[in-house]
Amino acid sequence: MDYLYQAGKPNGKKFILLHGTGGDETSLVDLAKFLDADSTILSFRGKIEEDGMNCFFKRNGLNQFDFESLEKETDHLLEEIETISEEKGIALEDWVLVGYSNGANIAAHLLLERETTLSKGIFFHPMSLEVHTQSFNLADKKVWVSYGGKQDPIVSEASFAELVAAFRDRSADVTVVETAYGHQVSMDEVQNAREWLKE
């Protein structure tokens, strides 16, 4: 899996970046630097190609998920994170997963469906992938999620609500931010996520 690694300052946050469909490992770097200028960055490129666009798992059309691919790629992503973390001497619990759209979806799925010490996430415009096979407690997880409201042509209100409920029902600490900008990331959201990180 192609990735970009940039060491930051020792006191900086540590971000794992997961782009949206059609992005790559550079897509969220500026956003990460706005969240914390001193941050260490581990940014992945999704290894699935869909109509020439990078993504993190296969789909069979808009919002039609290939569940076999989703599980395989989630395992693969977690393995990569664990391997690189060990190489760099970074504890898994020190990372913050930062994802947008397709990247946010696989990151949220990872926290919900894999027992891991990864514990923090900032997810811009995620949705439920409708897989709920696990019931282990998520009280150690803290996630910030944003939703583009009724203007979002991709994420429905019901799907977003299902994702939030999946975390909350298992005791995760969830902060929800709604915007009026549809599926694009707004400056207001990024500012809000930055404040949340400082708490």
Encode burial over 138-172: b for 16+ CB neighbours within 10 A, e otherwise: beebbbbbbbbeeebebbeeebbeebbebbeebeb
- Whether 171 is a known active-site residue: answer no
Q: Are strands 95-100 and 120-124 parallel, antiparallel or unpaired?
A: parallel
What's the rounded Cα separation, in Å, for the pair 125 and 181? 11
- Whether 173 is a known active-site residue: answer no
- Whether 30 is a known active-site residue: answer no
Residue type, 46: G
What's the rounded Cα separation, in Å, for the pair 51 and 71? 21
What's the rounded Cα separation, in Å, for the pair 198 and 108? 21
The active-site residue out of 76, 94, 156, 183 is 183
Residue type, 111: L
Which of 149, 65, 155, 154 has the alpha carbon at shortest distance from 113?
65
The active-site residue out of 27, 43, 101, 128 is 101
Any idea which residues carry the catalytic annotation? 101, 152, 183
